[in-house]
Amino acid sequence: MAGFIGIQQFIQDYTENTAEILGLDITVLDEKGVRISGTGYYKELIGKAAPEGSFFRMILETGKPGVIYDVKKDESQCMKCQFVNQCKELATIGFPIVKNEKLVGVIGMIGFSHKQKDKMIIESEKLIRFLSNGSTLLGNKLAMLDFGKEKGCKIQEDIPVPPNTISFENILGKDSGLQDVIKKARRIINSPSTVLIRGDSGTGKELLAKAIHFESKRRTHPFVAVNCAAIPESLLESELFGYEGGSFTGSNRNGKIGKFELADNGTIFLDEIGDMPIFLQPKLLRVLQEREIERIGGKKAIGINVRVIAATHRNLEEMVQKGTFREDLYYRLNVIPLHTKSLQERRDDIVLYLDHFIHKHCRIMLRSPLRLDPMLERWLIRYDWPGNIRQLENAVEYMVNMAESDTIGFHDLPDYLLQQDLLSVERGLSLEQMISEYERDVIQSYFLAEKYRNDKEQIAPELQISLSTLYRKLEKYQLW
Ligand SMILES: Nc1ncnc2c1ncn2[C@@H]1O[C@H](COP(=O)(O)OP(=O)(O)OP(=O)(O)O)[C@@H](O)[C@H]1O
């Protein structure tokens, strides 16, 4: 998305506003077919590539605009698409985005409902003109961005502008510990104090940091994330604080602005702070105390107004003891400590995440909702999830891809999970107990399914048992 970096938020705002006015869905793809913005179904797909062979990809290949008034009938344009059978689009119009005579993306208008499709047919001339203007607008905006860069304007191209903002609503989970953390975080959104988020990998530290930023008054300014463990030690200092032109061999002659300056008036998220090299720690401490930075090779201090949120999975107290983390920096960071619990510590939330991510990925893959085999669900609840929610979501995404029927079963698990001892969690139970537990889960799942609305007379024949047997089993498993 090289050309689109820096105006991603502009494009998403444009897309959403246009979609609202027209009552149709809008999406924009970059030259590689990766979705930059989208509304409706396509909002969830931002950042993902459009399927090979799809209509918009064809526009990227040919550089020609296209219209499909009836996707179901006009199959010739979609036959090569790998999702042709699951596609929910009814009508679609696409226009290439051209910058300085070069194809750099596609803007598309989509009708998912029959009402939208009819509108697209009736008002086609007007809508095609509208989309053509939209593509010109975006092409010109990109060209202006390049022009500004050539003239040396400070365009903050490496600020990762999020396509949409995050709020506390995005942090799912009923666990009381998690809810307490959210409650605390809500209280300090507008405070200037430094926050230190502790928790294992994939437990939502960055999500929490983003929610704090985007719920605060700083939300219109950048949220800049720096992973201190991912940047080589030798580069971290210049990444964080920037440098003046010609300060060292190989450096850019115009100098480089550091992440602290980029985050001015916003929030800097220092992920993996426990990996900050000891030689840089005094410099960070100074920034936190003085609220000013000095670029490498620079002679003057630059005042900054940045909220610092740091995070780590490491045991900082132990590191302080061992002398690998400065005690003064530790206290300076640990002003507002927040802790994100691992999934192992709040297994009750696992079902909620499974459900949420199954729905999410079914929507993304344009599949009708899948259900989980109850036995598999039980196994997933008892599995330890060392990679926490990130791992769980990836596993669900894999299973939704693999499932051939409307139920996700053990055979759909990713290989690394299949290699686990699938019965290990059941150890200590006799075969009879395991079968009983399975039977209980199956019956319960039918009562939880909206389709049956708790109707025993519908459920009994579905399970091929008599009504009285069903009553007996409900009694046995106390499923009243
Ligand atoms: N409570 C939650 N509700 C919904 N999604 C969540 C939650 N917690 C985490 N996630 C999702 O899990 C993934 C990992 O979260 P995130 O990157 O915030 O974790 P992290 O603790 O910062 O991980 P790391 O330490 O490895 O950087 C993200 O996709 C995030 O959206």
Residue 326 has pLDDT above 60, yes or no: yes
**pLDDT for position 99:** 83
Q: Is pLDDT above 80 for 1?
A: no
CATH of 345-476, one of 3.40.50.2300, 3.30.499.10, 1.10.8.60, 3.40.30.10: 1.10.8.60
* pLDDT given at position 161: 43
Distance 207 CA to ligand 1 centre (A): 6
- Residue 191: predicted pLDDT: 94
89 C-beta closer than 6 A to ligand 1: no
Read off the pLDDT band of 75 (50, 70, 90). Answer: low
Its CATH class, for the domain covering 168-340, is alpha beta
What value does the mean pLDDT take over residues 79-105?
A: 81
Separation in Å, CA 110 to CA 26, 114, 273, 346, 475: 6, 11, 44, 41, 51
Of 145 and 281, the one with more pLDDT: 281
What pLDDT score was predicted for residue 327? 96
- Tell me whether domains 2-150 and 345-476 share a fold: no
Can you tell me which atom of ligand 1 is nearest the CA of 178? 1
Is 50 exceeded by the pLDDT of residue 160?
A: no
Please choose from 203, 309, 345, 397 the residue to mutate so as to test ligand 1's pocket, defined by most ligand atoms within 8 A of CB. Answer: 203
Query: Residue 187: is its pLDDT beyond 70?
Result: yes
From the CA of 356, give the closest atom in ligand 1. Answer: 4
Higher pLDDT, 195 or 36: 195
Return the pLDDT at 158: 41
What does the mean pLDDT of the chain come to? 86
Is ligand 1 within 6 A of the CB of residue 266?
A: no
Q: Quick one: average pLDDT of 207-228? A: 93
Average pLDDT for residues 468-477, to the nearest whole number? 92
Domain positions in the chain are 2-150, 168-340, 345-476
Most confident range (mean pLDDT) of 193-202, 230-239, 444-453 is 193-202
Architecture of domain 2-150: 2-Layer Sandwich (3.30)
Q: Atom 31, ligand 1: which residue's CA is nearest?
A: 207
Say how far apart CA 242 and CA 197 lie, in whole Å: 25
Whether residue 151 is predicted with pLDDT greater than 70 in this model: the reply is no
Q: Nearest 5 degrees, angle CA 223-CA 227-CA 231?
A: 130
CA–centroid distance, 204 to ligand 1, in Å, is 3
Confirm or reject: Cβ of 171 under 6 Å from ligand 1: yes
pLDDT of residue 427: 56
Euclidean distance between CA atoms 379 and 424, whole angstroms: 9
For ligand 1, atom 23, the nearest C-alpha belongs to 202
Measured in degrees and rounded to the nearest 5, phi and psi for residue 116 equal -65, -40
Asked if pLDDT for residue 376 goes beyond 60, the answer is yes
Of ligand 1's listed atoms, the one at least distance from the Cα of 199 is: 21
**Which residues is 95 bridged to in the sheet?**
107
Residue 389 or residue 244, greater confidence: 389
Beta carbon of 389 within 6 Å of any ligand 1 atom: yes
Which 3 state secondary structure label does DSSP give 231? Answer: coil
